[in-house]
Amino acid sequence: MFVLKGLLRAESQEKVLIFLLLRGSGYGKNIAEFYGVPTNPVQKQLARLEADGVIVSQLIGKVRNYELNPRYPFINTLKELLKAAIEAYPDDIKNSLLIQRTRPRQAGKPLLVMRENLAQGAE
Protein backbone atom coordinates (compact mmCIF):
# COMPACT_ATOMS: atom_id res chain seq x y z
CA MET A 1 0.00 0.00 0.00
CA PHE A 2 1.54 3.31 -1.12
CA VAL A 3 -0.39 6.16 0.51
CA LEU A 4 2.17 8.97 0.06
CA LYS A 5 2.72 8.24 -3.64
CA GLY A 6 3.00 11.87 -4.78
CA LEU A 7 5.35 12.92 -1.99
CA LEU A 8 7.91 10.15 -1.63
CA ARG A 9 10.26 8.55 -4.16
CA ALA A 10 9.20 4.93 -3.72
CA GLU A 11 6.86 2.65 -1.83
CA SER A 12 9.82 1.15 0.02
CA GLN A 13 10.70 4.62 1.31
CA GLU A 14 7.23 4.99 2.82
CA LYS A 15 7.48 1.54 4.38
CA VAL A 16 10.85 2.35 5.93
CA LEU A 17 9.67 5.65 7.41
CA ILE A 18 6.45 4.22 8.84
CA PHE A 19 8.30 1.24 10.31
CA LEU A 20 10.85 3.52 11.98
CA LEU A 21 8.14 5.85 13.28
CA LEU A 22 6.08 3.10 14.90
CA ARG A 23 8.87 0.78 16.04
CA GLY A 24 11.43 3.46 16.91
CA SER A 25 14.33 1.71 15.20
CA GLY A 26 15.14 -1.17 12.92
CA TYR A 27 17.62 -2.62 10.47
CA GLY A 28 17.27 -3.33 6.76
CA LYS A 29 16.62 -7.06 6.84
CA ASN A 30 14.16 -6.70 9.71
CA ILE A 31 12.13 -4.08 7.82
CA ALA A 32 12.19 -6.08 4.57
CA GLU A 33 11.10 -9.28 6.31
CA PHE A 34 8.25 -7.49 8.07
CA TYR A 35 6.77 -6.26 4.78
CA GLY A 36 7.75 -9.38 2.81
CA VAL A 37 9.79 -7.45 0.25
CA PRO A 38 13.37 -7.92 -1.01
CA THR A 39 16.11 -6.48 1.19
CA ASN A 40 17.89 -4.56 -1.60
CA PRO A 41 15.24 -1.81 -2.17
CA VAL A 42 14.91 -1.29 1.57
CA GLN A 43 18.70 -0.98 1.97
CA LYS A 44 18.84 1.55 -0.88
CA GLN A 45 16.11 3.67 0.69
CA LEU A 46 17.82 3.53 4.07
CA ALA A 47 21.05 4.76 2.46
CA ARG A 48 19.23 7.57 0.62
CA LEU A 49 17.32 8.69 3.71
CA GLU A 50 20.51 8.69 5.76
CA ALA A 51 22.35 10.69 3.09
CA ASP A 52 19.47 13.21 3.13
CA GLY A 53 19.67 13.47 6.93
CA VAL A 54 16.15 12.13 7.59
CA ILE A 55 17.40 9.09 9.49
CA VAL A 56 20.55 8.25 11.42
CA SER A 57 22.26 4.93 12.00
CA GLN A 58 24.64 3.28 14.37
CA LEU A 59 26.54 0.06 14.12
CA ILE A 60 25.59 -2.51 16.76
CA GLY A 61 27.94 -5.43 16.31
CA LYS A 62 27.68 -6.26 12.62
CA VAL A 63 24.18 -4.79 12.20
CA ARG A 64 23.49 -1.19 11.20
CA ASN A 65 20.47 0.02 13.17
CA TYR A 66 18.43 2.99 11.87
CA GLU A 67 16.09 5.49 13.51
CA LEU A 68 14.49 8.81 12.64
CA ASN A 69 16.90 11.71 13.04
CA PRO A 70 15.68 13.88 15.95
CA ARG A 71 17.76 16.79 14.58
CA TYR A 72 16.12 16.73 11.16
CA PRO A 73 14.58 20.23 10.71
CA PHE A 74 11.18 18.93 9.62
CA ILE A 75 10.95 15.90 11.94
CA ASN A 76 7.71 17.01 13.61
CA THR A 77 6.06 17.73 10.27
CA LEU A 78 7.28 14.41 8.88
CA LYS A 79 5.92 12.54 11.91
CA GLU A 80 2.51 14.20 11.53
CA LEU A 81 2.43 13.33 7.83
CA LEU A 82 3.34 9.72 8.52
CA LYS A 83 0.75 9.47 11.31
CA ALA A 84 -1.90 10.71 8.89
CA ALA A 85 -0.76 8.14 6.29
CA ILE A 86 -0.95 5.34 8.87
CA GLU A 87 -4.68 6.02 9.27
CA ALA A 88 -5.17 4.85 5.66
CA TYR A 89 -3.44 1.52 6.36
CA PRO A 90 -5.49 -1.60 7.13
CA ASP A 91 -5.91 -2.40 10.83
CA ASP A 92 -3.98 -5.67 10.62
CA ILE A 93 -0.84 -3.91 9.34
CA LYS A 94 -1.15 -1.15 11.96
CA ASN A 95 -1.53 -3.69 14.77
CA SER A 96 1.39 -5.81 13.60
CA LEU A 97 3.61 -2.71 13.46
CA LEU A 98 2.74 -1.81 17.02
CA ILE A 99 3.37 -5.29 18.46
CA GLN A 100 7.06 -5.97 18.85
CA ARG A 101 8.28 -9.22 20.35
CA THR A 102 11.83 -9.00 21.60
CA ARG A 103 12.17 -12.31 23.37
CA PRO A 104 11.01 -15.84 22.60
CA ARG A 105 7.68 -17.15 23.77
CA GLN A 106 7.59 -19.36 26.85
CA ALA A 107 8.05 -23.03 25.98
CA GLY A 108 4.70 -24.74 25.50
CA LYS A 109 2.65 -21.54 25.53
CA PRO A 110 0.02 -21.70 22.76
CA LEU A 111 -0.05 -18.90 20.19
CA LEU A 112 -3.85 -18.77 20.16
CA VAL A 113 -4.07 -17.57 23.79
CA MET A 114 -1.95 -14.51 23.06
CA ARG A 115 -4.04 -13.55 20.04
CA GLU A 116 -7.28 -13.94 22.00
CA ASN A 117 -5.92 -11.69 24.74
CA LEU A 118 -4.96 -9.03 22.19
CA ALA A 119 -8.41 -9.18 20.59
CA GLN A 120 -10.08 -8.75 23.98
CA GLY A 121 -7.83 -5.83 24.85
CA ALA A 122 -8.67 -4.05 21.58
CA GLU A 123 -12.41 -4.07 22.32
Q: Is residue 6 part of a domain?
A: no
d(CA 79, CA 13): 14
Instruction: Please report the pLDDT score of residue 67 as a whole number.
Output: 93
Domain count, the chain: 1
Q: Is residue 117 part of a domain?
A: yes
pTM of the model: 0.71
Would the pLDDT of 86 be above 90? Answer: no
Average pLDDT taken over every residue of the chain: 79
Q: Is residue 80 part of a domain?
A: yes
pLDDT tier, 108 (very low <50, low <70, confident <90, very high otherwise): confident
Q: Is residue 71 part of a domain?
A: yes
The CATH number assigned to the domain holding 31 equals 1.10.10.10
Instruction: Please report the pLDDT score of residue 97 as a whole number.
Output: 73
Instruction: Please report the pLDDT score of residue 100 as a whole number.
Output: 65
- Average pLDDT on 95-107 reads 68
Phi and psi, residue 69, nearest 5°: -80, 115
- Average pLDDT on 45-55 reads 90
- Average pLDDT on 95-109 reads 68
Burial group, residue 60, by CB count within 10 angstroms (0-12, 13-18, 19+): exposed
